[in-house]
Amino acid sequence: MPINEGIANIPLYKLNITTRVYNQLCTAGIDTVGKFISAFNSKSTGMAVLTPKTLKSINRHIKVLSETVEQGIPNWIEYAKVLEIPVIPSDYSPSSTPNMALHQIPSIIERVLDDERRWYIIERRFEFNGSSKLTLQDLGETFGGLSRQRIDQLWDESIRKIKAVFIQNSFLSESYRVHPEILEIINSIVTLLIERASSGILQNELFEQIQQSFALEIKNTKPVIFLLLELCDFDCIDFGNSDLQPIWGKFDKKIRQIYETAIPKIDKLLTIETVHPQKDFDVLRLINKSMPKNAKLMPSDIKSAIELCSSVEKRTDGTYWGKFEFLKGRANQVERLLLEKSKTVSIDVLVREINHRLVLLGARKANSRNVLNQVSGDDRFIKIGKSGQWGLKTWEHIDTGNIVELMEEFFIQKNKPATADEIYDYVSSKRPVEKSSIIMYLSTKNIFAKHDRTQWKLEKWNEPDGDMWGLDQVASFVEGVFKKNRTKVLEYKIVKQALMDAAGLSAKQAQGMLNINPVILTHWDEHKKIYATLQENYQEKLEKVKSYGLRKANTTLGEKIGDRIKEIVSSAPNGQILLSELVKKLRKEFVFNNHPEPYGYVQRQDAVEVISLPNQRQKVCRIKETPRFLQVEKISNLQLQEKVKRAVGFLNLENVDVGLFLLSKEFESVLLAYLLQAEKRGKIVNPTPGKWKSLDEMINFISKEGLVTDKATLHYLRQKRNDRAHGTMPSLDERQLMMNNLQIVTSLYIDYIKFFDDLTNAL
Q: Where are the beta strands (DSSP E) in 546-618?
A: 576-578, 608-612
Model confidence at 552, pLDDT cuts 50, 70, 90, reads very low
Indicate if the pLDDT at residue 728 is higher than 70.
no
pLDDT of residue 452: 77
pLDDT, residue 704, reads: 77
Please check whether residue 207 is in contact with residue 218, taking contact to mean a CB–CB distance below 8 angstroms.
yes
Q: Which of 26-30, 310-314, 381-385 has the lowest mean pLDDT?
A: 381-385
For residue 145, give the DSSP letter.
S
CB atoms within 10 A of CB 721: 19
- Between CA 727 and CA 666 the distance in angstroms is 19
Q: How far apart are the first and last CA of the chain?
A: 130
Tens of pLDDT, residue by residue over 460-472, are: 887 776 666 778 8
In this model, does residue 401 exceed pLDDT 80? no
When pLDDT is cut at 50, 70 and 90, the band that residue 508 belongs to is confident
Strand 619-623 to 576-578 pairing: antiparallel
Q: Among candidates 738, 629, 441, which has minimal Cα distance to 449?
A: 441
User: 400 pLDDT exceeds 70?
Assistant: no
Identify the pLDDT of residue 551: 45
Distance CA 336, CA 276 (A): 7
Cα(21)–Cα(32) distance, integer angstroms: 13
pLDDT at res. 548: 57
Least confident of 81-85, 276-280, 481-485, 507-511: 507-511
What gap in Å lies between CA 312 and CA 318, rounded to an integer? 12
93, pLDDT greater than 80: yes
Q: What is the DSSP string of 603-616?
A: HT-TTEEEEEPTT-
Nearest to 662 by CA among 745, 728, 725, 711: 725
Say if residues 185 and 97 touch (Cβ distance below 8 Å). Answer: no
Side-chain half-sphere exposure of 158, counting CA atoms within 13 A:
25
pLDDT of amino acid 259? 93
Q: What is the pLDDT of residues 177-233, one digit of tens each?
A: 999 999 999 999 999 999 999 999 999 999 999 999 999 998 889 999 999 999 999
Write out the H or E segment, with its range, that includes residue 350: helix 347-358
| Pairing, β 177-178 against β 87-88 | parallel
What is the arithmetic mean of pLDDT over 661-688?
79
Distance CA(170)–CA(244), nearest Å, equals 38
Compute the Cα dihedral for 673, 679, 683, 685 and give only its sign.
Answer: positive
Q: How many Å apart are CA 527 and CA 306, to the nearest integer?
A: 71
Say if CB 599 and CB 583 are below 8 A apart. Answer: yes
Return the ∠ at Cα 105 (arms to 101 and 109), rounded to 5°: 155
Give CA separation, 431 vs 405, 407, 414, 622, in Å: 12, 11, 19, 44
pLDDT of residue 154: 93
**What would the mean pLDDT of 269-278 be, rounded to a whole number?**
95
Choice among 37-46, 77-86, 570-579 with the minimum mean pLDDT: 570-579
Going by their DSSP bridges, the two strands 320-322 and 247-249 should be labelled as unpaired
pLDDT at 227: 95
Q: Which residue in 436, 428, 362, 406 sits closest to 654, CA to CA?
A: 436
- Long-range own/partner contacts, residues 708-716 (CB < 8 A, 24 or more apart): 713/748, 714/752, 716/748
* Amino acid occupying residue 367: N
- The pLDDT of 131-145, averaged and rounded, is 88
Amino acid at 730: P
pLDDT in tens, 596-612: 788 888 888 877 888 87
Average pLDDT across the chain, whole number: 85
Cis amide leading into 598 (omega within 30): no
- pLDDT value of position 201: 95
Question: What is the predicted pLDDT for the residue at 571?
Answer: 81
Give DSSP secondary structure letters for 284-331: HHHHHTTS-GGGPPPHHHHHHHHHT-TTEEE-TTS-EEE-GGG--SHH
- Please give the average per-residue pLDDT across 484-506, as a whole number: 88
With a CB cutoff of 8 Å and minimum separation 6, the contacts of 753 are 635, 640, 644, 663, 666, 667, 670
Measured in residues, the chain has a length of: 763
Q: Which of 219-233, 422-436, 451-465 has the highest mean pLDDT?
A: 219-233
Region for residue 462 given its phi and psi (left: phi exceeds 0; alpha: psi -120 to 50; beta: otherwise): left
Per DSSP, 278 falls in state: B
Tell which residue, 169, 163, 231, 229, has the closest CA to residue 196: 229
Whether residue 176 contacts residue 85, with contact meaning beta carbons closer than 8 Å, is answered with yes
Residue 667: Cβ within 10 Å count: 25
How far, in Å, CA of 694 to CA of 668, rounded?
Answer: 9
Give the span between the Cα atoms of 477 and 470, in whole angstroms: 11
User: What pTM was computed for the model?
Assistant: 0.56
What is the distance between the alpha carbons of residues 357 and 360, in angstroms, rounded to a whole number?
Answer: 7
CA pair distance 375, 351, nearest whole angstrom: 12
- Residue type, position 71, single letter: Q
**Rounded to an integer, what distance in angstroms lies between the CA atom of residue 394 and that of residue 378?**
13
Cα–Cα dist 109/158, whole Å: 9
pLDDT at 550: 46
CB 721 within 8 A of CB 657: no
Give the pLDDT of residue 554. Answer: 47
CA nearest to 49, candidates 34, 36, 62, 32: 36
DSSP string, 411-429: HHHH-S-EEHHHHHHHHHH
Q: How do residues 404-413 score in pLDDT, each as one tens digit? A: 888 888 888 8
Q: How far is CA 394 from CA 183, 273, 335, 339, 701, in A?
A: 61, 17, 11, 11, 38
Predicted local distance difference test score (pLDDT) of residue 399:
60
pLDDT per position as a tens digit, 696-714: 778 877 777 777 777 777 7
Residues in Cβ contact with 481 at an 8 Å cutoff, skipping those fewer than 6 apart:
490, 494, 495, 498, 499
706: left (phi over 0), alpha (psi -120 to 50) or beta: left
Higher pLDDT, 433 or 333: 333
